[in-house]
Structure 1
């Protein structure tokens, strides 16, 4: 029973962290994309430290939420659902089957986009603009998937606590 209680506690912790990360990403997304992010905006990054920090915050929070959900919350949730966590792609396939994410393919596209935003923006501002706009378009889907995982974690955690 101790292992089950430890898993329930982990799910509670990860759910709290995930919800905070969702809110932080939504806040930054709103501040960065109050209007369509343009090439002209990207050109201001060198001279506008506030814009540069917002951009970095968006990229960081976008990636962090993906990491928390995909690498931590989802494997713990799968364990709680009596599924054996495995490689990330297998976990994503199971998450899609359970209706926790829209699709494995979309999640992997978000991952590629995150990597593009992190590594390529310094060299090509056009790529940065495109990647940021695509990231912005993915935010609702990413947050919705994260919140579905949180809701399922809370449901499973409540069942575990009730069994004590």
Structure 2
């Protein structure tokens, strides 16, 4: 793959991440008055179609953001001249960290666990849902920092 193609895909993934992050932030802002989320608030959200729509979109955007982040890091590393063709995602994460990107193995696995928690249908465990959403909000600043760093 030539440098022009790599740069084009990298730019595409940056644009995608910025768009998803912006939508995620807007949806979080719509619920910010209820933060930090508590089980009774979640119960209310799950019985209101508008709040449920926002929760669904937050979940979708977070999952999409993480999927695209793996591709973005791959193309970031390719632009840096790294050979990542047969490299596992976690190895790319470790290499990106060595190159100064604010991501590491623990953060990646925490995002994966949160993604798995959010991807299940909303259960009656409102405390678990509240905890997951509270953790998700903490990732927004980290996501912004990562995007800024890979764009340098």
Instruction: Give the TM-score normalised by structure 2.
Output: 0.88
Deviations 1:70-125 (A, max 9, x none): 1x111111111111221010011011111212422112101211111111632421
Distance 1:135 1:53, change over 3 A: same
> What's the counterpart of residue 136 of structure 1?
137
Runs (4+) off by over 4 Å: none
In structure 1, the gaps of 5 or more residues are: 153-164
Residues 86-97 of structure 1: matches in 2 within 5 Å? 86-97=87-98
Greater radius of gyration (CA)? 1
Distance 1:10 1:102, change over 3 A: closer
> What's the counterpart of residue 108 of structure 2?
107
Answering whether residue 53 of structure 2 is matched by residue 20 of structure 1, we say: no
Aligned counterparts of 2:33 and 2:142: Cα–Cα separation in 1: 19
Aligned residues: 149
Residues 69-80 of structure 1: matches in 2 within 5 Å? 69-70=69-70, 72-80=71-79
In structure 2, the gaps of 5 or more residues are: none
Distance 1:88 1:99, change over 3 A: same
Instruction: Give the TM-score normalised by structure 1.
Output: 0.82
